[in-house]
Amino acid sequence: MQVGLWSHPVGYSIAPLEIDAGVERLSATVLRFRYLMRGDIDGLVIPPLSAPLRSNNLWRTTCFEAFLFRPDGPAYVELNFSPSTQWAAYDFAAYRDGMVQASLPAPPDLDVTRRDDSLELVATISLDVAREPCLLNLCAIVEEPGGRLSYWASDHAGDRPDFHRQDCFTLELPAAGPA
């Protein structure tokens, strides 16, 4: 599945950009996310490469995100992938409630390719939730010079950017097939 992301009207991007995002199932529990940003990458604030560690507050600068919602209840997972190769994974019990660090069998594998006119991030991650059917929202936050942030998603709802809203989870990832 591959979709185009669009910038929320509040905090819209002044830089001419295109962002595509996608997810594919590699196995019952392994997902591969791909984000491709095209435009004047050198005119954006992109975190420099660093050690691939779990880190908080990645959303304060350019970062790619995915939200997976289990249709059987209010719980969901938030994943953050930074072009620095830092990452985060959170479990929520309900809308913005009960946030804890998600337990993963291994850190995600992040591959980042930067060119003058594009930035690609591919994240491969193992998640228990992956074997279930999920609703998704694929997202990005882009920082421009001066600290200006724009909020990109496969779907927005409401008058303010809020990737956590259940009505933004409009993409469908089917359940894993039989092993």
What's the pLDDT score for residue 72?
Answer: 78
Supply the DSSP symbol for 97.
Answer: B
> What is the CATH T-level fold of the domain 2-173, as seen in this structure?
Immunoglobulin-like (2.60.40)
Convert the pLDDT of each residue in 17-76 to its tens digit: 999 999 999 988 899 999 999 999 999 999 999 999 999 999 999 999 999 987 777 999
Q: How many whole angstroms separate alpha carbon 144 and alpha carbon 102?
A: 30
Global model pTM greater than 0.85: yes
What's the pLDDT score for residue 79?
Answer: 98
What's the pLDDT score for residue 158?
Answer: 82
Supply the DSSP symbol for 130.
Answer: G
Angle value at C-alpha 50, between 48 and 55, nearest 5 degrees: 105
What's the pLDDT score for residue 95?
Answer: 92
Over 90: is that where the pLDDT of 130 sits? no
What's the pLDDT score for residue 179?
Answer: 57
Convert the pLDDT of each residue in 80-96 to its tens digit: 999 999 999 999 999 99
Q: Are 123 and 82 in contact (CB under 8 A)?
A: no
What's the pLDDT score for residue 118?
Answer: 97
For residues 116-125, b (16+ Cβ closer than 10 Å) or e, as one string?
A: eeebbbbbbb
- 3-state SS, one letter per residue, for 27-91: CCCEEEEEEEEEECHHHCECCCCCCCCECCCHHHCCEEEEEEECCCCCCEEEEEECCCCCEEEEE
